[in-house]
Amino acid sequence: MNQPQRKEEAVRIADTSGDQNQYLTFQIGREMFAVGILYIREIIEYGSLTTVPMMPEFVRGVINLRGSVVPVIDLSARFGRGESAINRRSCVVILEVEGINGDEEQLQEIGVIVDAVSEVLEIPPGEIEPPPSFGARIRADFIAGMGKVQGNFVILLNVQQALNTREMAELAAIVDAPKDARDY
């Protein structure tokens, strides 16, 4: 079942000061991404996922996270790069974002599938460059900046935008609409 794998670690790291500049880095496809550590709730093993029908490709389904039902997003599909293939190192990173629930805005847990979780890094603001206007092959508003780590760039995700529940719900509505007279 879905046991939290590295929760203790995440908590410990979050407790150390200077967490504003700390980022969790992970791999999707061949690229490295980073998300501010304050968004991260926990990281769990990939498994026992329930598919929700009639949703866009990037909504992988829902999981049972200790009694609450949490949606899982496939970031690779969200970036328009096709579904990520599940491997041995695939994880679900549980993030906490502002989102709509009914008519209310509130903090929500959302899981994202990543191909592998790497490490927690400190990236000082001086090492972060503004997002390139093109060339990243990802919608510009999903990128908060480009972090320089050991001579390489990691993409700092704008989590609020990449996991914008309102936008995702609207995309889902388009998929759901009777696009054709389905043949039964």
Specify the DSSP class assigned to residue 133.
S
- Give me the torsion for CA of 2, 37, 142, 83, rounded to 10°: -20
Q: Any idea how long the chain is?
A: 184
Cα 83 from Cα 184, distance rounded (Å)? 27
Compare residues 7 and 148 and give the one whose CB is closer to another protein: 7
Cα 120 from Cα 150, distance rounded (Å)? 14
Smallest distance, another protein to C-beta of residue 31, A: 24
Smallest distance, another protein to C-beta of residue 21, A: 30
Compare residues 52 and 140 and give the one whose CB is closer to another protein: 52
Smallest distance, another protein to C-beta of residue 183, A: 8
Residues that bind another protein (CB under 8 A): 1-2, 48, 50-55, 59, 61-64, 67-71, 99-102, 108, 110, 165-166, 168-170, 172-173, 176, 178, 181-184
Return the bridge partners of 120, or none.
24
Compare residues 11 and 175 and give the one whose CB is closer to another protein: 175
